[in-house]
């Protein structure tokens, strides 16, 4: 078992005929993901890496039994693609697209709530359960199957952490990218709940960054509900106030959203916070030693 | 709206007037950017004083001259994108006229909020419900609900992250919008081609954006290029940890091309006083071979420490080696080397 995606995932790729969609479909297939269909309006009937391409999501689902979607379409079409996948109740719907207007994300996320569909992103790297399924763009070769769950707002920092864990002999259950935009679907708290209930996950790494209060919300949830060891890293300790650091979500305003505040809140919740990304594996090992885990991490 | 004090004479407005600095920052009243004048002569003096002053680092190039209102009470009303609620939230307060952050800190009980369902907007009943909580009644309650509905439609139509009226003033029998502020979503700029370019960015920041790069100028002497906002932020922290200072934040973005990388190197080197360059790339949707091609097209002019790993890593490393440029895989080592290069204590291209 893992969370969100695994062996049972039958993946649909929206925007499969584009530069990124085509390239990453190849890599997802290499990672043993069951990519069963693609959708590009206007390109139905063609094939990409032997995967059949359909005009609409509805047709693709009926023909292939697809049950999850990943979206690679350009920002101006991302809203429609997401609504189409959510209308067909694909779950999860993973939006890789960077640069989607925030109001479009608000509409997609609100609709997903009514349809009981989980959305990851926009502007995220997707979700990977190593050895079983890769949905999105995380570089597969960094992973090794194991028992550490990872949740992050940042794509590249996730890779950094996964590479460090693998190097240290700590395998991963599932790595989840939430997305770097101000409005995204699933939150840290949603993912922490899933990891807490997943018997394959023995410890959790939370990667955060400046801006908003999602990490503080996560800290409160951890203190009240999470029994597994948690290590964290927060990016942006040296970021100046009022400047938007790349991610539309990453801006400090006043005392709100500072790395210092997030780190203090997480530490108060019993989370081990690393100063450098490279410090995470050692911190986690220490916590795993102390934790009365039902099974030792085979990591 | 005028740009020179002499233009006051040509205005047909009713006195007394208020002269307001037009700047893209908040807190102008506190900074002396809003003044009252009873006569045209007085208005010209005040306009002269305000034009040319700086408010939070921004020079005042224009002032608005408007009839002064006899304000009986001041309210606050805004629609703002709320990350936790994942939708717009109406924020209102009977303590208007001051910064809402101040109200939130000192008297949070005076702030009224209501989440907006994007499929409904802000219908009149919701506007009235917010208005009631501010103490409005009678005809003024309906007027408030109308303003709330229109402000939400503005927030939505303009792709705003914030649409704020502060103060929303009671003047005689009416509600008047005395001052307003919009914060716009850059991602939606393509839907609003008529908008002028943001004046908040520096020249380099604007140029970077035109190439799809996200660049923020900082104070130090080590130019930084990376992919992904989180990684670049952690790269700045990493340099600081080893005693270095970043000259900038530059995120080449997801799926950057060779051309994007070449532009990035050109842009970060244009800032004065750069002593070293640190490239930290972890390929995901970005491919290391694309990044390497961009680096070798126009190799850095300053000593550079390069860390390149992730998607298509081997091909990327091979392209760099073929051009006589070495790159490492370990971020901490590469950061240490970048700091050493900036101090002139290490030779370039030795790899970490």
Give the pLDDT score at B30: 79
Give the pLDDT score at A251: 59
Which of A75, A209, A237 minimises the CB distance to B187?
A75
**Closest to A121 in 3D by CA, of A186, A69, A175, A74:** A186
**Chain B residues with CB-CB distance to A19 below 8 A:** 255
Q: Do B9 and B44 form a contact (C-beta atoms < 8 A)? A: yes
Task: Measure A10 CA to nearest chain B CA, in Å.
Answer: 22
pTM of the model: 0.87
Which of B88, B253, B282 minimises the CB distance to A98?
B253
Give the pLDDT score at A7: 94
The distance of Cα B247 from the centroid of its chain, to the nearest Å, equals 19
| Rounded Cα–Cα distance for residues B124 and A123 (Å) | 35
Q: What confidence tier does A291 reach under pLDDT thresholds 50, 70, 90?
A: low
Q: Which of A24, A147, A221, A247 is catalytic?
A: A247
Q: Do A235 and B234 form a contact (C-beta atoms < 8 A)? A: yes
Give the pLDDT score at B200: 64
C-alpha pair distances (Å), A127 with each of A92, A149, A178, A288? 10, 11, 9, 24
**Chain B residues with CB-CB distance to A182 below 8 A:** 81, 83, 161
C-beta atoms surrounding B190 within 10 Å: 12
Residue contact A240–B218, C-beta within 8 A: yes
Residue contact A246–B117, C-beta within 8 A: no
CATH, range B5-67: 3.30.1490.20
Radius of gyration of chain B (CA): 26
Task: Measure B230 CA to nearest chain A CA, in Å.
Answer: 5
Size of interface A-B (CB pairs under 8 A): 178
**Chain B residues with CB-CB distance to A125 below 8 A:** 284-285
Which of A137, A212, A250 minimises the CB distance to B285?
A137
Give the pLDDT score at A69: 98
The model's pLDDT over A95-119, given as tens digits with 9 standing for 90+, comes to 999 999 999 999 999 999 999 999 9
| Rounded Cα–Cα distance for residues A77 and A92 (Å) | 19
Give the pLDDT score at B212: 82
Listed in order, the ranges of chain B carrying CATH 3.30.470.20 are 71-191
Q: Report the mean per-residue pLDDT for chain A.
A: 92
Listed in order, the ranges of chain B carrying CATH 3.30.1490.20 are 5-67
Q: Is residue A233 within 8 angstroms of chain B, CB to CB?
A: yes
**Chain A residues with CB-CB distance to B102 below 8 A:** none
Residue contact B237–A156, C-beta within 8 A: no
Query: Residue A296 above 60 pLDDT?
Result: no
Q: Is residue A87 within 8 angstroms of chain B, CB to CB?
A: no
User: For A40-44, A123-127, B58-62, which range has the lowest pLDDT when averaged over its residues?
Assistant: B58-62
Relative to beta strand A34-39, strand A51-54 is parallel
Complex-level ipTM: 0.87
Q: What is the 3-state secondary structure (H, E, C) of chain B?
A: CECCHHHHHHCCCCCCEEEEECCCCCCCCCCCCEEEECCHHHHHHHHHHHCCCEECCEECCCEEEEECCCEEEEEEEEEEEECCCCEEEEEEECCCCCCHHHHHHHCHHHEEEEECCCCCCCCHHHHHHHHHHHCCCCHHHHHHHHHHHHHHHHHHHCCEEEEEEEEEEEECCEEEECCEEEEECHHHHHHCCCCCCCCCCCHHHHHHHHCCCEEEECCCCEEEEECCHHHHHHHHHHHHHCCCCECEEEECCCCCCHHHHHHHHHHHHHCCCCCEEEEEEEECCCCHHHHHHHHHHCCCCCCEEEEEEECCHHHHHHHHHHCCCCCECCHHHHHHHHHHHHCCCCCCCCCC
Residue contact A247–B232, C-beta within 8 A: no
Domain ranges across chain A = 10-120, 143-290
Give the pLDDT score at B105: 77
Closest-CA residue in chain B for A247?
B229
Query: Residue A297 above 60 pLDDT?
Result: no
| Rounded Cα–Cα distance for residues A140 and A133 (Å) | 10
Which of A156, A217, A254 minimises the CB distance to B284?
A156
Given the candidates 2.120.10.30, 3.40.30.10, 3.40.50.1110, 3.30.470.20, the CATH classification of the domain at B71-191 is: 3.30.470.20
Q: What is the 3-state secondary structure (H, E, C) of chain A?
A: CCCCCCCCCEEEEECCCCHHHHHHHHHHHHCCCEEEEEECCCCCCCEECCEEEECCHHHHHHHHCCCEEEECCCHHHHHHHHHHHHHCCCCCEEECCCCCCHHHHHHHHHHHHHHCCCEECCCCCEEEECCCEEEECCCHHHCCEEEEEEEECCHHHHHHHHHHHHHCCCCEEEEEECCCCCCCCCCHHHHHHHHHHCCCCCEEEEEEECCCCHHHHHHHHHHHHCCCCEEEEEECCCCCCCCECCCCCCECECCECCHHHHHHHHHHCCCEECCCHHHHHHHHHHHHHHCCCCCCCCC
Given the candidates 3.90.1720.10, 1.10.10.10, 3.40.50.720, 3.30.70.870, the CATH classification of the domain at A10-120 is: 3.40.50.720
C-alpha pair distances (Å), B148 with each of A21, B124, B159, B173, B175? 42, 8, 16, 18, 12
Q: Do B110 and B104 form a contact (C-beta atoms < 8 A)? A: no
Residue contact B83–A182, C-beta within 8 A: yes
Give the pLDDT score at A207: 97
Relative to beta strand A126-129, strand A133-136 is antiparallel
Which of B229, B253, B331 minimises the CB distance to A245?
B229
Give the pLDDT score at A299: 38
Q: Tokens 């109308």 sit at which residue?
A: B146
**Closest to B252 in 3D by CA, of B266, B271, B237, B238:** B266
Give the pLDDT score at A250: 59
CATH, range B203-342: 3.40.50.261
Percent of chain A with pLDDT over 70: 92
Task: Measure A217 CA to nearest chain B CA, in Å.
Answer: 9
Q: B19 — alpha (psi -120 to 50), left (phi > 0) or beta?
A: beta
Closest-CA residue in chain A for B233?
A236
**Closest to A79 in 3D by CA, of A116, A33, A110:** A110
C-beta atoms surrounding B120 within 10 Å: 10
Longest dimension (CA), chain B: 79
Q: Which fold has domain A143-290?
A: Rossmann fold (3.40.50)
Residues with pLDDT less than 50, chain B: 350-352
C-alpha pair distances (Å), B182 with each of B14, B46, B191? 28, 26, 16
Which of B81, B234, B332 minimises the CB distance to A157?
B234
Scan residues 187-216 of B and list those with Cβ closer than 8 Å to A.
187-188, 190-191, 214, 216
C-beta atoms surrounding A194 within 10 Å: 18
| Rounded Cα–Cα distance for residues B46 and B19 (Å) | 7
Scan residues 121-180 of A and list those with Cβ closer than 8 Å to B.
123, 125, 137-139, 142, 152-157, 159-160, 163, 180
User: For A149-163, A251-265, B65-79, which range has the lowest pLDDT when averaged over its residues?
Assistant: A251-265
Q: At what angle do helices B288-297 and B313-322 cross, to 10 degrees?
A: 20
Q: What confidence tier does A211 reach under pLDDT thresholds 50, 70, 90?
A: confident
**Closest to B305 in 3D by CA, of B336, B263, B282:** B336
**Chain B residues with CB-CB distance to A159 below 8 A:** 282, 284, 310
Residues of B labelled catalytic: 76, 164
**Chain B residues with CB-CB distance to A83 below 8 A:** none
Give the pLDDT score at B348: 52
């Amino acid at each position: 078992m893992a969370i969100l995606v695994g062996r049972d995932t039958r993946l649909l790729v929206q925007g499969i005929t584009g530069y990124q969609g085509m390239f990453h479909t190849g890599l997802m297939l290499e990672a043993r993901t069951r990519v069963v269909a693609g959708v590009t309006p206007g390109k139905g009937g063609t094939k990409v890496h032997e995967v059949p391409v359909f005009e609409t999501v509805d047709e693709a689902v009926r023909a292939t039994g697809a049950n999850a979607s990943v979206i690679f379409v350009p920002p101006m079409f991302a809203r429609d693609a997401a609504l189409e996948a959510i209308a067909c109740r694909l779950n999860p719907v993973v939006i890789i697209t960077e640069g989607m207007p925030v109001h479009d994300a608000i509409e997609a996320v609100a609709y997903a709530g009514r349809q009981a569909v989980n959305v990851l992103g926009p502007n995220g790297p997707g979700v990977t359960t190593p050895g079983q399924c890769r949905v999105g763009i995380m570089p597969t070769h960094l992973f090794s199957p194991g028992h550490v769950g990872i949740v992050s707002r940042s794509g590249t920092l996730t890779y950094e952490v996964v590479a460090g864990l693998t190097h240290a002999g700590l395998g991963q259950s599932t790595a989840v990218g939430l997305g770097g935009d101000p409005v995204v679907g699933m939150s840290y708290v949603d993912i922490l709940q899933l990891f807490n209930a997943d018997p394959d996950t023995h410890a959790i790494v939370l990667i955060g960054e400046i801006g908003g209060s999602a990490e503080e919300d996560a800290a409160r949830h951890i203190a009240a509900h999470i029994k597994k060891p948690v290590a964290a890293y927060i990016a942006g300790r040296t970021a100046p106030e009022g400047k938007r650091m790349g991610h539309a979500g990453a801006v400090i305003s006043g005392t709100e959203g500072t790395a210092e505040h997030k780190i203090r809140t997480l530490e108060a919740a019993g989370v081990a916070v690393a100063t450098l990304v490279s410090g995470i594996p050692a911190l986690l090992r220490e916590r795993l030693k102390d934790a009365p885990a039902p099974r030792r991490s085979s990591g | 709206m005028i740009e020179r004090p002499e233009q006051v004479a040509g205005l047909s407005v009713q006195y007394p007037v208020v002269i307001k600095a037009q700047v893209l920052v908040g807190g102008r009243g506190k900074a002396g950017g809003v003044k009252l004048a009873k006569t045209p002569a007085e208005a010209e003096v005040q306009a002269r004083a305000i034009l040319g002053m700086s408010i939070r680092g921004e020079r005042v190039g224009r002032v608005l001259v408007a009839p002064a209102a006899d304000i009986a009470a001041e309210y606050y009303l805004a629609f703002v994108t709320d990350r936790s609620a994942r939708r717009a939230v109406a924020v209102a307060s009977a303590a208007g006229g001051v910064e809402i952050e101040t109200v939130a800190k000192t008297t949070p009980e005076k702030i009224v909020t209501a989440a907006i369902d994007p499929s409904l907007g802000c219908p009149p009943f919701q506007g009235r419900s917010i208005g009631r909580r501010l103490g409005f009644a009678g005809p003024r309650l309906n007027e408030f609900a109308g303003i709330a509905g229109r402000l939400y439609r503005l927030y939505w139509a303009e792709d705003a992250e914030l649409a704020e009226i502060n103060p929303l003033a009671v003047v005689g029998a009416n509600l008047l919008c005395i001052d307003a502020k919009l914060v716009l979503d850059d991602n939606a700029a393509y839907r609003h081609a008529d908008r002028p370019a943001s004046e908040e960015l520096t020249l380099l920041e604007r140029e970077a954006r035109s190439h799809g790069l996200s660049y923020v100028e900082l104070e130090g002497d080590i130019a930084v290029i990376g992919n992904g906002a989180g990684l670049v932020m952690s790269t700045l922290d990493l340099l600081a940890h080893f005693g270095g200072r970043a000259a900038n934040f530059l995120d080449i973005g997801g799926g950057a091309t060779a051309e994007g990388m070449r532009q990035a190197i050109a842009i970060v080197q244009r800032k004065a006083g750069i002593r070293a360059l640190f490239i930290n790339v972890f390929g995901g949707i970005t491919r290391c071979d694309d990044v390497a091609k961009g680096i070798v097209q126009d190799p850095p002019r300053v000593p550079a420490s390069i860390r390149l790993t992730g998607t298509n890593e081997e091909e990327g490393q091979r392209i760099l080696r073929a051009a006589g440029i070495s790159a490492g895989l370990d971020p901490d080592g590469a950061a240490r080397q970048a700091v050493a290069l900036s101090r002139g204590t290490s030779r370039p291209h030795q790899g970490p």
